[in-house]
């Protein structure tokens, strides 16, 4: 396996773990992680009360290039939305849903709700 790709995956998993623990501490319930489809993926699926929350996690070990909070692209947003729509249909979810971003720079966690 490519060393850079392996390192990026390890960082991604570490970021998702930090994000999940942070959200659990905020009272959200864990449903599923790393939901993948050909056309997109969802890092974390959680619930806040009856509301479903689809979470994109961006993790940066350093605050270069605007940090994690500026790492979400329009294309990624479209893929996340498409994956969430598919997930909602497959699981027959009839509830309020929202999209959140967890941006982690080193160990600083920022939680942005209703990002789109």
Taken in order of first residue, the domains within the chain and their CATH numbers are 3-112 (3.40.1350.10)
As a whole number of angstroms, the distance between CA 16 and CA 22 comes to: 10
End-to-end Cα, the chain, rounded Å:
35
Three-state secondary structure readout of 38-95? CCEEEEEEEEECCEEEEEEEEEECCCHHHCHHHCCCHHHHHHHHHHHHHHHHHCCCCC
As a whole number of angstroms, the distance between CA 17 and CA 44 comes to: 10
pLDDT tens digit at each of 116 positions of the chain? 565 555 556 666 778 999 999 999 999 999 999 999 999 999 999 999 999 999 999 988 766 666 788 888 899 999 999 999 999 999 999 999 999 999 998 778 999 999 98
């Amino acid at each position: 396996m490519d060393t850079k790709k392996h390192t990026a995956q390890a960082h991604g998993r570490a970021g998702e773990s930090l994000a999940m623990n942070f959200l659990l501490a905020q009272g959200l319930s864990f449903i599923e992680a790393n939901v993948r489809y050909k056309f997109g993926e969802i890092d974390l699926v959680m619930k806040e009360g009856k509301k479903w929350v689809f979470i994109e996690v961006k993790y940066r070990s350093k605050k270069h290039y605007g940090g994690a909070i500026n790492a979400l692209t329009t294309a990624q947003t479209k893929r996340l939305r498409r994956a969430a729509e598919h997930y909602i249909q497959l699981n027959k979810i009839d509830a309020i849903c929202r999209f959140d971003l967890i941006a982690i720079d080193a160990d600083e966690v920022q939680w942005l709700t209703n990002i789109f």
